[in-house]
Structure 1
Amino acid sequence: MTAPPGAPAAAAAPAARATLADVDWASKNYLVVDDFIGIRQLLRESLRNLGAKNIDQASSGGEAMALLSRIRYDVVLCDYNLGEGKNGQQVLEEARVHQLLLPSSVWLMVSAEKSMESVIGAAEHQPDAYLIKPITEGVLLTRLNRVWHKKQVFRMIDLAYGEKDYLRAAALCDAQIDVDQVHHIELLRMKAHLMLKSGEPDKAREAYERVVAEREYQWARSGLAKIRMTNGEYEQARQIFQGVIAENRYYIDAYDQLAATHQLMGQLEEASKVLERAAKLSPNSVLRQRSLGQVCLKLGKLPMAEKAFRKCIAIGEYSVMKSADAYLGLARVCGQKNEVKEALALLQAVQKEFAGDELIGLRAKITEGLVYHESGDYRRARKAGDELEALLNADPARPAVAVCLDMATLLLAVGVKEAPVELLCYVARNNHDNSVLLDEVQRIFDKARMGEEGIALIRDAKKQATDLMNQGVLLWRSGKLQEAIEWMRHARLTLPNNMRILFNAAQIQLSHMQQSGYEAALGAETAEVLLQIDRIGPGQQRFAQLMEQLARLVPATAVATPVTTTAT
């Protein structure tokens, strides 16, 4: 993994000093991807003149993915437009998601596309260079040589990163910074990223501030804003992101982060406007179009929601980010426009396209009921509601928060009360400190003409969760660690998806082992609590920090399995 998009260009001095002869190009593996055979042959000959011997070719995105899944390439030259199927941007995106590239691999995106949206869209997926056709052999070899030498600076750091040993990777950054002034800014950027992955936001802030003290790079300022956003300092984060955009209206990540900040502040109208601007600049992001569609659907801005969902489906056809949410969202739009036939066709399509997702059937049934209700077919809506109520009664497990909210909305709309009220209270108890989500729960009560009752229910749910958590924390601070552990086990059984309770339970168990020594059974239990947190909300900074604490407690002779994580 090299530095994220928007990093300062590598200094030319070392690259200029490094010659083509400095690298054993003959030993490298190469992949050339282009749908035109003539272009592939030209690029192959240029590489041969460099000394390359092991050169594979692919004429489509699908063929490229098949090769990438079998062979680790040192250099990939990939055209942006590849005809039918995946384009070059989607190939790069999928290769990164599935980690099919070596840490030191070089990816050169090659294209005749000069439009701003194509260049920005490709840059979002971090190619090492973007070359505009026609390309002379001299330009190709010079850029390849320059990028290759830059990538080697990060090679050992990337290897540690790939092993999820973020602290070792950060230490390698520090060691490299001491001897490499040319790349020290990029190394500081990498260190900040690693500190965030390690659950050390204060150290990440120090790295970003060190960069900003030298020069106000937009990515460093955005990094500081993301830390503020994570800490709940939404207004400060919003101001920084807006300042970055004012200075560079093509810095797309700042738009996405600004929109996320607005949503955390409950400002959906502002979020939709920011996402709309970003989608105009770089329209080929599945995730951005999905977010735009979802926000606009909540606001009742049906034309914009429909446009975003249709675009999301179209560009997601060959993308690893293909989204069921776009199909379900578009079905809701069609239902509100009384286009029931298309809505039902979309629900059939989503169940076929995402057959491996066990939640899709449930989500499709909820959406079907909402479509019938919003189009005025109350009999079929009630039938769908009855089926969902039966499912809730048969299975005590509850789905994800967004699914619970949609299900409660439908059930209340068709006249069911007990089951949806229980669902909404479940959501409130498990998210008692999330004010934006609790406001959304209250709006569902308001829409069902249960506003006053909803206020009381949410207040009671928050008190139940707070009392459960506080009792465990009080026992912990009183030094009654074993009692605190037992109490938090009870709290976890009562509220299995409450992040605050889970975090505190893990912290109390870690404190006990730090004082009394590592216990294999308790260590495994703590790891499972942390993995439950990661399943509910991937990427939590405190999660990475507690996992590091647990890993330090495990004796070298112990089996490492209990602390294995798939955190992203």
Structure 2
Amino acid sequence: MIFQTSFYKSKNLLLIEDCEPVRASIKGMLQQIGFDNITTVSDAAQAMQLANKDNFDFILADFDLGAGKNALQFFTELSQQALLRIGCCVLLTSAEPRRLPVLGVIHGAPDAFILKPFSYVELEKRLAKAWSNRVKFRKVYQALRQHNYKTAQLELDPIINAKNSTSLLALRLMAEVLVAEGSYSAALKLYEQVIQQRDFSWARLGQAVATLQIEDFAAAELLLIPLLELDDIRPEALEWLACLYLRQNNIELAIKQLVELLKLDNSHLAAHSVIASSWLWQGQPDESSKYWQKLIQQYRFSAFDQPDYYFALTRIQLEQTLRSKQSDFLTMLKKTVDALAMMPQKLINEQTEPVTAVLRARLMLLQGNIAQAKQQFLQLSAEKVVAEPAAILDMARLAFALGDIKNSEAYLSQLKQFTPQKPDLTGEYQRLSAEFLVKQELQLRTEIRQWNQAGMEQAQAGNIPQAISQLRQAFMFMPCNTALILNFLQTISQLPADRTLKALAKLAMVALEFSNKTAANQQRLEQLLPQLPEMYFD
């Protein structure tokens, strides 16, 4: 025994293994080693629930966990949500060799990979080594958890200089810390020094990524393309090559890399998001909608179900509803409401609730529930919890529709200034999305002015049906704009009572209650009201 039995008795261990006989066998080994506090589960979903409320010192997980997420995906999710204790050791097991990511140790990486079958002696040896390394790097990971990169570097220096079995890992960490703090040239120099000593695949990939970050795109491409031939880093090389092409706004080449990446990892959320959104960026919302629907059908209720699928689909259908013909409006609106309601309850949490709420508020507005939509907007504005580009635009659109131009401009300014947290594939996706959304919003505001102007010109020319069509389109996006409402009411007052216009007319009258009216607006309204058919007041 490397450690005393009393050491293991004081530790909590989570064992994740989907095969019951193997689970029982490994639990027996752990008890033989000295563990008393052993929690066993069969899949990642159960493990995630426990990780939310229990603190484990060790997690031992089989790589393949049947249907749902594998152990590596489970570990990644734990790391992203900061659910792992800094000192927790994570060991993965499998009956066959598995590829593990070569970049990303800064965010934490599995401490060991154990090939089945193994003895309790081998298991104890790997557990003890993992714990010893965790102790050595504890202060490093504490600093990284706080994004204190300078302190992390100071803690890594003596480990590197010790030139022992942990020095290489410390060197990898140092290079990634330099990248994380934006010291790309220093990171590139360090990777090149490592490559001069030994041709590590992680160093070659790191060299390419650092070169990309200093925006030497031609050199980065030359470094990345040969890495596609290396099985152990091919997925990451494809991802970073796609990132490079996105940085250059070469969407077509980026998509080609992501299609290849999905052949190796079909549950890669960022890759799916870029491909689905690329259709939208190219002006093909129907194709984008089909892609999101395919993801929902494929992953609904599985471990890979994501709220972004439902949000993206809802936004596309909401835009199509706003631009639909009057005869199609109610059908389209119901379809959009159903798309958002389709999202499983398990996906609602502190991060997704505000996004869901602002989308609901936009739908409330179209349903005529202006007071509720306004109340929801005021609550979300006070909490300031929306930070993702599409959700920021949702807030800008909601404020604009409510006639709150000041807040709408503030959110649009926030979107224009949006900067991704990380310069990776997700970051590039967010950057391109923000740029597209800003462009789309500015174009929409131009369209609204054109619709209003064309509507009034058609009304003056006596083409009332055409005038109503143009003004209605502007009104759908800006229902609480007093001048626009009055233009619409003035136009429909020139026609006999029309049941097909009744709902729209009533919505306009309700919207007037929540719009800011000048004295001139009020006077104009008083002149208009007697001219409107009584049907519109029922």
Q: What residue is the counterpart of 1:347 in the other structure?
A: 340
Conservation of the 8 A alpha-carbon contact between 2:399 and 2:408:
no
Q: What residue is the counterpart of 2:158 in the other structure?
A: 175
C-alpha distance in 1, partners of 2:97/2:219?
34
Conservation of the 8 A alpha-carbon contact between 1:107 and 1:129:
yes
Q: What residue is the counterpart of 2:110 in the other structure?
A: 127
Please, which of 19, 35, 41 is the counterpart of residue 58 of structure 1?
41
Superposed displacement of residue 327, structure 1: 0.8
C-alpha distance in 2, partners of 1:264/1:78?
37
User: Does the alignment pair 1:24 with 2:4?
Assistant: yes
User: Does the alignment pair 1:295 with 2:278?
Assistant: yes
Q: Secondary structure at the match of 2:312?
A: helix
Superposed displacement of residue 37, structure 1: 3.8
User: Does the alignment pair 1:360 with 2:356?
Assistant: yes
Q: Secondary structure at the match of 2:244?
A: helix
Specify the code of the residue in structure 2 equivalent to 1:154. F
Q: What residue is the counterpart of 2:464 in the other structure?
A: none
Report which stretch shifted further, 398-407 or 38-47.
398-407
Instruction: Give CA deviations for 1:337-377 in whole Å, capped at 9, x if unaligned.
Output: 999566542212349543752232323566x69xxxxxxxx
From the superposition, tell whether residues 56 and 364 of structure 1 become closer, same or farther in structure 2 (CA, over 3 Å): same
Question: What are the equivalent positions in structure 2 for 1:245-394 lying under 5 Å apart?
Answer: 245-248=228-231, 250-299=233-282, 300=284, 306-307=290-291, 310-311=294-295, 315=299, 317=301, 323-331=306-314, 343-350=336-343, 353-354=347-348, 356=350, 357-363=353-359
Conservation of the 8 A alpha-carbon contact between 2:41 and 2:47:
yes
> Structure 1-normalised TM-score?
0.57
From the superposition, tell whether residues 311 and 438 of structure 1 become closer, same or farther in structure 2 (CA, over 3 Å): closer
Instruction: Give CA deviations for 1:304-330 in whole Å, capped at 9, x if unaligned.
Output: 8744664378558565x8643211223
Gaps of 5+ in 2: 322-327, 420-427, 451-538
Instruction: Give CA deviations for 1:381-431 in whole Å, capped at 9, x if unaligned.
Output: 89899999999999999975434657889999x9x9x99996897468647
Asked which structure has the greater CA Rg, the reply is 2
Please, which of 26, 31, 41 is the counterpart of residue 48 of structure 1?
31
Specify the code of the residue in structure 2 equivalent to 1:311. L
Specify the code of the residue in structure 1 equivalent to 2:162. V
C-alpha distance in 2, partners of 1:60/1:92?
12
Q: What residue is the counterpart of 2:177 in the other structure?
A: 194
Superposed displacement of residue 449, structure 1: 7.8
Conservation of the 8 A alpha-carbon contact between 2:175 and 2:187:
yes
Conservation of the 8 A alpha-carbon contact between 1:260 and 1:271:
yes
Conservation of the 8 A alpha-carbon contact between 2:185 and 2:214:
no
Gaps of 5+ in 1: 1-20, 370-379, 454-568
Q: Secondary structure at the match of 1:76?
A: strand
Question: What are the equivalent positions in structure 2 for 1:111-190 lying under 5 Å apart?
Answer: 111=94, 126-131=109-114, 133-137=116-120, 140-141=123-124, 143-145=126-128, 147-190=130-173
C-alpha distance in 1, partners of 2:392/2:441?
11
Superposed displacement of residue 180, structure 1: 1.9
Superposed displacement of residue 197, structure 1: 3.8
Please, which of 181, 197, 203 is the counterpart of residue 186 of structure 2?
203
Identity %: 20
Please, which of 80, 90, 112 is the counterpart of residue 97 of structure 1?
80
C-alpha distance in 1, partners of 2:370/2:254?
32
Conservation of the 8 A alpha-carbon contact between 1:313 and 1:326:
no
> Structure 2-normalised TM-score?
0.60
Matched positions, count: 415
Specify the code of the residue in structure 1 equivalent to 2:92. M
Superposed displacement of residue 27, structure 1: 1.4
C-alpha distance in 2, partners of 1:181/1:227?
26
Specify the code of the residue in structure 2 equivalent to 1:359. V
Superposed displacement of residue 281, structure 1: 0.5
C-alpha distance in 1, partners of 2:224/2:204?
8
Superposed displacement of residue 190, structure 1: 0.6
From the superposition, tell whether residues 234 and 419 of structure 1 become closer, same or farther in structure 2 (CA, over 3 Å): farther
C-alpha distance in 1, partners of 2:293/2:140?
39
C-alpha distance in 2, partners of 1:55/1:396?
46
